[in-house]
Amino acid sequence: MSYRVKSYAAQSSSSPLAPFQFERRSPRADDVVIEILYCGVCHSDVHNVRNDWGNANYPMVPGHEIIGRVIATGAAVTRFKEGDHVGVGCLVASCQRCDACDHGHEQYCQNGATYTYNHNDPIDGTRTFGGYSEKIVVAEDFVLKVPNTLDLAGAAPLLCAGITTYSPLRHWKVGKSSKVAIVGLGGLGHMGLKLAKAMGAEVTLFSRSPGKEDDARRLGADHIVISTDVKQMAAVAGRFDLIINTVPCKHDVNPYIPTLASGGTMVMVGYLGPLDNFNTGPLVFRRKALAGSLIGGIAETQEMLDFCGRHGIHSDIERIAIQDINQAFERMLKADVKYRFVIDMNTLKESI
């Protein structure tokens, strides 16, 4: 039996999200059928819906920060049963035989991972549709367990914003002696502050504008540096082992490089695109690096959820009804959200 589900979808790059119905596949032997309870609204949802990256395929149901409840399982599923609270992030499949998959880096699958929406299922070729929807059907290897201690709505953004900052913090071995800076206080940035602090690091927020001090400190920042203030920037020269740059748009990254310690790395997790006049000189003179990082692997995402469960870490969210999604997109583009919209998918029952 396949599932006819309600959802919200974009029909073109200029159309707002609107009610849409389609069929979810019948569960294959290794599939889990999930009733979606909450779905976070990621900045990349706007980019995808508006075809900013040139690869949009309509109709498109966005959403890859999914929290739900298992309502059915395929015959071969062993790790989940009806009633379990589960999460689904940005990935729903990968080849699981390449070197990257062997190392648990499904997000870097050499044969191409399958994204939760705007992609094609590798087995039957059908389109993938995301979490702004009643239900989703996902292979159990790509379903995450949600610790009992987590609030379900606040956990949704962990599936993308959380793992996107957790993965570089772990890869670059952040711990008690680390000095970490986060550039930008948005969906990703506020998770970066919380996670780095919970790992024991001394944490600094770089922000362009004053006024975020109280929030930043509450979220885990030990220090706030106004990045447009030359004196404040000079005062932290050579300070940071790792900078996670969450700014989602083109900006001058050169001023941050001198604040790295020798051997330090700035990791881009927000902006994908060309930089103007990025200067290699400061990299050479202190063996520094500019790197990138993309979400995380499945095992690492589970590790992150468990870490958040132990440390009581959620996203700071604003709950919305699905009917408010288009306004939420507009507000998100103005950075008018603290710090992540999460759709209460129960409100979808009122649609259509």
CA distance 82 to 105: 28
CB under 8 Å to 170, separation ≥6 — which residues?
A: 300, 303
Cβ 280 to its own copies, closest distance in Å? 5
Which of residues 35 and 52 has its CB atom nearest to its own copies in the complex?
52
Cβ 248 to its own copies, closest distance in Å? 11
- Spell out the SS3 assignment of 16-78: CCEEEEEEECCCCCCEEEEEEEEEECCHHHHHHHCCCCCCCCCCECCCCCEEEEEEEECCCCC
Query: Contact between 272 and its own copies (CB under 8 A)?
Result: yes
Residue of 200, 238, 255, 312 that binds its own copies (CB under 8 A): 238
Cβ 283 to its own copies, closest distance in Å? 3
Query: Contact between 249 and its own copies (CB under 8 A)?
Result: no
Cβ 129 to its own copies, closest distance in Å? 22
Side-chain half-sphere of 282: how many Cα atoms within 13 Å?
A: 18
Number of residues binding to its own copies, judged by CB under 8 A: 36
Let me know how long the chain is: 352
CA distance 300 to 110: 18
Of 124-132, 187-195, 291-299, 303-311, the window that binds its own copies (rule: CB under 8 A) is: 291-299
Residue of 81, 287, 310, 349 that binds its own copies (CB under 8 A): 287
Which of residues 83 and 274 has its CB atom nearest to its own copies in the complex?
274
Taking CB under 8 A as the criterion, which residues in 81-100 touch its own copies? 99-100
Query: Contact between 105 and its own copies (CB under 8 A)?
Result: yes
User: One symbol per residue from 292 to 331: x for binding its own copies (CB under 8 A), - otherwise; what is it?
Assistant: xxx-------------------------------------
Which of residues 48 and 293 has its CB atom nearest to its own copies in the complex?
293
DSSP state letter for 138? E
Cα 14 from chain centre: 24
Residue 30: both structure tokens together: 């290794």
